[in-house]
């Protein structure tokens, strides 16, 4: 399966772009565990063209991450075109357009999923972005704005017609946010539409190898994009790959593997963000890496309260020793 000239294997697993999550340190541990294609956090087009430090930093990509896409969002076509040109200069493997973010502060400006109410503008913006770069352009979107506007089958055809080379679909409307169960029925309809020639990736609620294989077989998608289920559990990529290939369930990560991944994530966070920011922003991840451990609260409190980098490593080593016989 290919996006343009990017070969991704028979059934690729994609790491979804997630704000404040899918930064280079997190992407590193996901790549280690088998993610086939990853994306940056979504980057504001307005921030890029104004050279805002936070937006520019999100352009950082590394050779070991390839293939990797830079995802941009915005409400103005001219700004999105200019942002595309800036992102192209960083030499990612593709440019991805965010038409799916449901957050109010994004949608109220007509960006992210906000553009779902204006398909004409969506097509004009997409066409302009495709023409602004030599890289493959892909899109991530939702089924529609609400239950009465689930027009993704038509939208997918039109996006393909203006030149995108792959489409990822989250199985919820904007109004649903992340509530309720993702509906993959329309994702399957898009994939099985004889007019569609580009890869179609499904997204939403894939949290186990069994569900991944079930949805692969039921809906025929070319690959799966995984978001929240990878937070604190980057091993989900290797687990799904093993199950799809063999039908066997891999044992879950040991406490040593959890500590090692957390150590690596922390080390990369310090290196990329600087000591202070890296230390503070890593605090949101500890509980996820050690979900399921009994009586873990004291360790978690120590991890989120310490101001010492060396102490974080000491605490993590103590966790490995304390729970060496723990069975998840």
**Active site (catalytic) residues:** 101
CA dist 318 and 138 (Å) reads 44
State the SS3 of the chain.
CEECCEECCCCCEEECCCCCCCCHHHHHHHHHCCCCEEECCCEEHHHHHCCCHHHHHCCCCCHHHCCEEEEEECCCHHHHHHHHHHHHHCCCCEEEEEECCCCHHHHCCCCHHHHHHCHHHHHHHHHHHHHHCCCCEEEEEECCCCHHHCCHHHHHHHHHHCCCCEEEEECCCCCCCCCCCCCCHHHHHHHCCCCCCCCEEEECCCCCHHHHHHHHHHHCCCEEEECHHHCCCCCHHHHHHHHHHHCCCCCCCCHHHHHHHHHHHHHHHHHHHCHHHHHHHHHHCHHHHCCCCCCCHHHHHHHHHCCCHHHHHHHHHHHHHHCCCCCC
Which residue, 88, 213, 47, 71, is CA-closest to 141?
71
Contact 280, 20 (CB under 8 A): no
Between 152-161 and 119-132, two packed helices, what is the crossing angle to 10 degrees? 30
- In terms of residues, how long is the chain? 328
Question: CA neighbours within 13 Å on the CB side: how many for 265?
Answer: 29
């Amino acid at each position: 399966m290919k996006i343009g000239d990017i070969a991704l294997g028979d059934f690729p697993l994609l790491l979804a772009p997630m704000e404040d999550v899918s930064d280079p340190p997190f992407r590193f541990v996901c790549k280690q565990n088998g993610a086939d294609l990853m994306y940056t956090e979504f980057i504001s087009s307005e921030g890029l063209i104004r050279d805002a430090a936070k937006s520019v930093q999100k352009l950082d990509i590394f050779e070991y991450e390839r293939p990797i896409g830079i995802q941009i969002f915005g409400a103005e076509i001219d700004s999105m075109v200019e942002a595309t040109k800036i992102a192209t200069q960083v030499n990612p493997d593709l440019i991805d357009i965010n038409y799916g973010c449901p957050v109010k502060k994004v949608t109220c400006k007509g960006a992210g999923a906000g553009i779902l109410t204006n398909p004409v503008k969506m097509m004009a913006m997409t066409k302009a972005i495709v023409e602004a770069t030599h890289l493959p352009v892909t899109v991530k979107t939702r089924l529609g704005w609400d239950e009465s506007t689930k027009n993704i089958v038509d939208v997918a055809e039109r996006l393909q017609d203006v030149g995108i080379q792959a489409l990822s679909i989250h199985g919820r409307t904007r109004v649903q946010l992340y509530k309720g169960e993702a509906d993959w029925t329309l994702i399957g309809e898009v994939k099985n539409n004889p007019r569609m020639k580009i890869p179609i990736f499904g997204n939403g609620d894939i949290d186990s190898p069994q569900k991944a294989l079930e949805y692969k077989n039921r809906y025929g998608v070319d690959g799966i994009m995984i978001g929240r289920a990878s937070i604190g559990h980057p091993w989900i990529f290797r687990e799904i790959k093993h199950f799809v290939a063999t039908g066997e369930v891999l044992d879950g990560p040991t406490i040593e593997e959890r500590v090692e991944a957390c150590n690596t994530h922390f080390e990369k966070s310090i290196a990329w963000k600087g000591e202070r920011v890296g230390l503070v922003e890593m605090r949101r991840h500890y509980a996820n890496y050690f979900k399921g451990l009994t009586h873990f609260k004291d360790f978690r409190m120590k991890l989120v309260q310490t101001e010492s980098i060396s102490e974080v490593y000491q605490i993590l080593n103590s966790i490995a020793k304390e729970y060496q016989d723990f069975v998840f």
